[in-house]
Amino acid sequence: MIIKKICCIGAGYVGGPTMSVIANQCPDIKVTVVDLNEARIAAWNDADINNIPVYEPGLGDIVNEARGRNLFFSTDVEKAIDEADAIFISVNTPTKTYGAGKGQAADLKWIELCARQIARVSTSDKIIIEKSTLPVRTASTLKEILKHTGNGVKFHILSNPEFLAEGTAVQDLLAPDRVLIGGEQTDEGIKSINALVEVYARWVPLEKILTTNIWSSELSKLTANAFLAQRVSSINSLSELCEYTEADINEVAKAIGTDSRIGSKFLKASVGFGGSCFQKDILNLVYIARSYGLNQVADYWEQVIIMNDHQKLRFANKIIKNLYNTVNGKKIAFLGWAFKKDTNDTRESAAIYVADHLLYEQAEISVYDPKVPEQQIYVDLDYLATRSSSENKQLLKIENDPYDTCKNAHAIAVLTEWDEFNDYDWQRIFDNMLKPAHVFDGRNILDKTKLKQIGFLVNGVGS
- Rounded to 10 degrees, what is the CA torsion of 372, 375, 381, 387? 160
Do residues 335 and 412 touch, judged by C-beta distance below 8 A?
A: yes
Give the integer Cα–Cα distance in Å for 165 and 176: 11
Please work out, in degrees rounded to the nearest 5, the angle formed at the alpha carbon of residue 171 by the alpha carbons of 169 and 173.
70
DSSP secondary structure letters along 100-166:
TTTTTSB--HHHHHHHHHHHHH--S-EEEEE-S---TTHHHHHHHHHHHHSSS--EEEEE------T
Give catalytic status of residue 277 as yes or no.
yes
Q: Using alpha carbons, list the distances in angstroms from residue 153 to 44, 75, 81, 129, 190.
A: 32, 24, 13, 16, 18
Torsion on CA atoms 92, 98, 100, 101, rounded to nearest 10: 50
SS3 179: strand
Name, in order, each residue with C-beta under 8 angstroms of 377's C-beta and a sequence gap of 6 or more.
337, 346, 367, 369, 396, 398
Which are the contacts of 168, defined by CB distance < 8 A and separation ≥ 6? 57, 342
Q: Are 156 and 189 in contact (CB under 8 A)?
A: yes
On the 0-12 / 13-18 / 19+ scale of CB atoms within 10 A, 82 is: middle
Put the strands of the sheet holding 438-441 in their side by side order.
396-398, 364-368, 331-335, 411-414, 438-441, 457-459
Task: Report which of 228, 237, 209 is spatially closest to residue 274, judged by C-alpha positions.
Answer: 228
Among the listed residues 7, 114, 277, 406, the single catalytic one is 277
What residue type is 239 in one-letter code?
S
Instruction: Determine whether 316 is exposed, middle or buried from the number of CB atoms within 10 Å of its CB (0-12, 13-18, 19+).
Output: buried
Burial tier of 448 (Cβ tally within 10 Å: 0-12, 13-18, 19+): middle
Beta bridge partners of 366: 333, 397
Q: Name the residues annotated as catalytic.
A: 277
